[in-house]
Amino acid sequence: MSLEIERAKPIVHVRTRPILMSGAKAFRLSARFAPTAIGYFGRLDILVNNAGIETHAPFWEVTEEDYDRVLNVNLKGVFFATQEIVRHLIANKRPGKIINISSIHEELPFPNFAAYCASKGGLKMLTRNLSVELGQFGITINSIAPGAIETPINTSSSMTQRSSAHCWRRFRSDDWESRTMWLDSLPFWRPLTLTMSQVRRISSTAG
């Protein structure tokens, strides 16, 4: 299948507003996030779940606190933030788009990061399940699963370990803006399934 990548049109005006979310349970955060965002913007059409953390430790040394912290941010937070946006869209009878930023480690083992891999594997299946469940409402959901991105989460030891495993290409964070904007630009009704060769083609064309 041939994929044509159309560059997104320049954004004329962007309004942003930070919403502080630390120090509370995931379901309380999501309940706070949606009304605050809707109150500021008036409506919500697209949700990008991009927050993510990881903890480096051998499996036998991972504490319950470490596990909960990673899963709460990487999976539980996504679950309930998405739920709030879906409720908003369904209540207003409008289509919408959800984009989850996952990781190559939803598929590829990454020793000493068991909780992180579990969270991303769960995110992959959550995305697949919701793509079927939410389609009837005109809500599309996709995920992007890159290799290591050059951000504060990926420095020194973890970047070196990924490099030595020959399992990733080092991206800058802005390399993925075009991929996310491309997903944003798809029609609401259009489902999307990509093979690995198609993903590589998008990477080379959009980059």
| Spatial distance between the Cα atoms of 162 and 167, rounded to a whole number of angstroms | 6
40 is annotated as an active-site residue: no
Beta strand extents in the chain (DSSP E only): 46-49, 96-101, 139-144, 149-150, 171-172
Which residues neighbour 51 within 8 Å (Cβ) at sequence distance 6 or greater? 73, 74, 77, 78
138, 188 Cβ separation under 8 angstroms: yes
Catalytic annotation, pick one of 33, 116, 176, 182 = 116
Report phi then psi at 152, rounded to 5: -60, -25
Residues serving a catalytic function are 116
